[in-house]
A and B are shown apart, each in its own frame.
Chain A
Amino acid sequence: MKSIIILCLVAFASANLSTDSGKSLETPCPPENLFGEVEAQDCCSNPDSCVEDSVFFHTDATSRIVDASKVDVYDEFIKYANEYLTRSYEYFFLAAQFGTYSKDRAGFEKLLNGLSDSAWNRGIDMIKQMAKRGIPHRYILNKDIEGIVSSANVTEMAAVAKAADIEKNLLIKANDIHRHHSHASLTASPSCGYDASLSHYIAEEIMEEKVDTVRTLTGYTNQLKRLFKQDPKLYPLSLFMFNQQLE
């Protein structure tokens, strides 16, 4: 029995079957000649006879909860995921500067490389999340992210402050997207973007961690600022100590 079904599936795959994704699940049973010329005999000449689900062959099933024309309600989430990839490479180059002989700050390099890695992994995880929810990924970006270039010479404090800015900005955007997907009334159409599951993902997987990162980085920035302001002459030594702490 098993072998018959497999044989049938093989022939079925080879048949010149045309997909018709525009139709909904209510599409009536197809006429028999829809499968075109089929070489094999027996059940394979009519897949309906051995595969009861043939009615589903004419449309893709989707895990998406809004219909195809409304999928753009997720564009902000897609752009947000792509921002993580962009920021990941921004941190990547920012970190690399601190590994040069002239800067030689392994601690700062480690801190920034860590941010780069977590942005990369988060970006990939968000793409997987989209796939889970039936949202196709595209490389679209927000206007303010399009122009990001690998950075020129940056001081230790400026790099930490920049990282704090980036992370805080990501937290603010997460908040905005969360609001977009969690605000609706009972009678509102799903196309307005309400998506409790996605909101939950944003709050639990992204924001919880981000809140800590922002706090850590703003703390570092303020610490460095105070060290500099109160004892500018000792600042090079302060940086040396601070770098050691980060290592």
Chain B
Amino acid sequence: MNKFGILAAIICVFASVSADTCDVSAREHLNNIEFVDMKKGCVQLTEDQIKKEITASLKYLSYGAYFSQDNVNRPGYAKFYFDAASEEREHAHKLIEYLQMRGRYFDIQDTIISNINIGQLIKESEQAKALGLDHGWMKAPEPRANGLSAGMESLRTALKMEYAVTESIRNLIIACEAEKVDGKNDEVFNDYHFVDYLTGEFLTEQYKGKRDIAGKISTLGKMIKDNGGELADFLFDQKLQ
């Protein structure tokens, strides 16, 4: 198999002739102009948040896969979770775009963004524990204890997951609104714009999302009353389709 053949050939081309890369000249002209003001600690926590969004996307994807199986057969739930997976991926993208705008995407030496082990994130998503939560409900035997349904258990875990993500964003906001400035003891930098963006865009979406899931749990809960979990799930699934 001609693995990485094309890339290897190209690297040879570059090695044989030393050319000015465009990056170098770009940096030269920007020398001594301090236009980037976003602080390091805030950037690193944002990068962590990007990883969490990716983990959430993969977790929701596995929920979607679960509800698509022939022996589970809940197309409505599957659609709900597949959509949620793509939404989480979009959140990671929005954070990257934000860092790009502020000149802080892939621009500092100690960045973690160039070292995210994607293969690892995918493999870890197989484990029952991700984002500190128990996703073991997928492996539970049918019928479930206490008349619970797979749909109910998935929604309950999803709500916990969204709660954890909301907390994580809140902590990011706290860190970014008062970061100590390097070399200056009593000076803190308040990243007003990022804090506003996180609050207005991300938290709004989190609270709306949590309200939506909590509403679903409550509606389904009323249907499940007296152990009718399976039929309730069957009917609720049609609402989700």
CB distance from B25 to the nearest CB of A (A): 7
Contact A131 B23 (CB under 8 A): no
Contact B62 A158 (CB under 8 A): no
Chain A residues whose CB sits within 8 angstroms of the CB of B185 once the complex forms: none
- Asked whether any CB of chain B lies closer than 8 Å to the CB of A10, the reply is yes
Contact B65 A145 (CB under 8 A): no
- Interface size range on B against A: 35 or more
B120 nearest CB neighbor, chain A only: A146
User: How does the 8 Å CB contact mask read for B1-33 relative to A, with 1 for contact and 0 for none?
Assistant: 111111101110110010111110111001000
A228 and B60 alpha carbons, distance in the complex (Å)? 44
- Asked whether any CB of chain B lies closer than 8 Å to the CB of A118, the reply is no
Chain A residues whose CB sits within 8 angstroms of the CB of B97 once the complex forms: 99
Given the interface contacts A140-B126, A161-B7, does A130 sit within 8 Å of B13 by beta carbon?
no
Contact A103 B23 (CB under 8 A): yes
Contact A235 B117 (CB under 8 A): no
- Interface size range on A against B: 35 or more
- Asked whether any CB of chain A lies closer than 8 Å to the CB of B132, the reply is no
A169 and B4 alpha carbons, distance in the complex (Å)? 8
Chain B residues whose CB sits within 8 angstroms of the CB of A64 once the complex forms: 70
Chain B residues whose CB sits within 8 angstroms of the CB of A141 once the complex forms: 119, 122-123
Given the interface contacts A90-B118, A136-B69, A141-B122, does A102 sit within 8 Å of B1 by beta carbon?
no
Contact A137 B119 (CB under 8 A): no
Contact A150 B119 (CB under 8 A): no
Contact A221 B116 (CB under 8 A): no
CB distance from B202 to the nearest CB of A (A): 18
CB distance from B161 to the nearest CB of A (A): 17
Contact A221 B118 (CB under 8 A): no
Contact B116 A93 (CB under 8 A): yes
A86 and B11 alpha carbons, distance in the complex (Å)? 24
Given the interface contacts A149-B117, A221-B10, does A19 sit within 8 Å of B107 by beta carbon?
no
Given the interface contacts A124-B64, A161-B7, does A96 sit within 8 Å of B69 by beta carbon?
no
- Asked whether any CB of chain B lies closer than 8 Å to the CB of A63, the reply is yes
CB distance from A21 to the nearest CB of B (A): 8
Contact A14 B69 (CB under 8 A): no
Contact B116 A155 (CB under 8 A): no
Which positions in B face A, CB cutoff 8 Å? 1-7, 9-11, 13-14, 17, 19-23, 25-27, 30, 54, 58, 61-62, 64-65, 68-71, 78, 82, 85-86, 89, 92-93, 96-97, 100, 103, 105-107, 113-123, 125-126, 141-143, 147, 226-231
19 pairs, CB–CB < 8 Å, chain A vs chain B: A9-B231, A19-B143, A61-B71, A62-B70, A92-B89, A100-B100, A100-B105, A102-B27, A103-B23, A124-B64, A134-B69, A136-B65, A141-B119, A149-B118, A149-B119, A151-B114, A153-B114, A165-B4, A236-B20
Sample of 10 further A-B pairs with CB below 8 A, known A152-B114, A172-B2, A228-B19? A13-B228, A60-B70, A96-B106, A100-B107, A102-B26, A103-B23, A139-B123, A161-B6, A165-B4, A221-B10
Report the 8 A-B pairs with minimum CB-CB distance, sorted nearest first.
A131-B68, A139-B126, A14-B227, A137-B65, A146-B119, A161-B10, A150-B116, A60-B71
